Amino acid sequence: MVSGQTQCHLANLNDACQLHTDVIAPFRSMQKSAAKQGIDLQVASGFRSYERQLAIWNTKVSGEKPLLDGQGHLVPFDRLSDVEKIFAILRWSALPGCSRHHWGTDLDVWDAAAVSAGYQLQLVPGEYQPNGPFYKLACWLDEHAEPHGFVRPYAEDKGGVAPEPWHLSYVAIAKQFEVQISNTFVKKILDNASLKLGGVVKDNLDEILERFICQASQR
């Protein structure tokens, strides 16, 4: 369950999204509360499998998708060393097997009532800042997420994962997964045959764990 290679802990929130079985009810309760304030709280991404996270990773390593800095600006891919590439990727995308989305406890949310039906959701900081379409949602979550059991694991920039105001975690269940992450665990689950730049990841695993994986649990 920790590495996203099984789905026995999941239930369907809707046809497009799965969450941990014990997260469905708390999320729906929060969704109902948001609706009273005119917010249509929806999930852009819930559970994500190891295979899906691996595909995202490999696409970015290959330069098929843009790399962004902490402010969401483009990073010149061709000028980066392999080590710089993996750290740039980790600012916005988790190492396969280590994504909190694997647990079904974490979800990316947006407000469908704040935009038109054809809006192309980007999940970038500007959407949740003043003058962004989801600023009302961001402010509402500041006050109401925790009473419903949810926290923002990436609320602050600690030099690892960039701030993600859209990312919520159901802390009571997520902490059960957090304690299982270790250097030994990551080495065991990494598919080095399929993971692009897997050797570079292995050589820098201690720093990756400290900066990009374990910091989220240090709330």
Q: Look up tokens 């509402």; give the residue.
A: 140
pLDDT at residue 73 above 90?
A: no
193 band by pLDDT with thresholds 50, 70 and 90: confident
Distance CA 37, CA 178 (A): 33
Cα dihedral 105→90→128→22 (10° resolution):
0
What are the residue boundaries of the structural domains of the chain, listed by start? 10-217
218 band by pLDDT with thresholds 50, 70 and 90: low
Strand, helix or coil for residue 24:
helix
Q: What is the pTM of this model?
A: 0.95
Tokens matching residue 109: 């949310």
Task: Determine the average pLDDT of the residues in 78-100.
Answer: 95
Whether domain 10-217 has CATH 3.40.630.40: the reply is no
Q: Look up tokens 């979550």; give the residue.
A: 141
**pLDDT at position 70:** 77
**pLDDT at position 69:** 81
What does pLDDT average to over the chain?
A: 94
40 in Cβ contact with 113 (< 8 Å): yes
Residues 23-72: pLDDT tens digits? Answer: 999 999 999 999 999 999 999 999 999 999 999 999 999 999 989 887 77
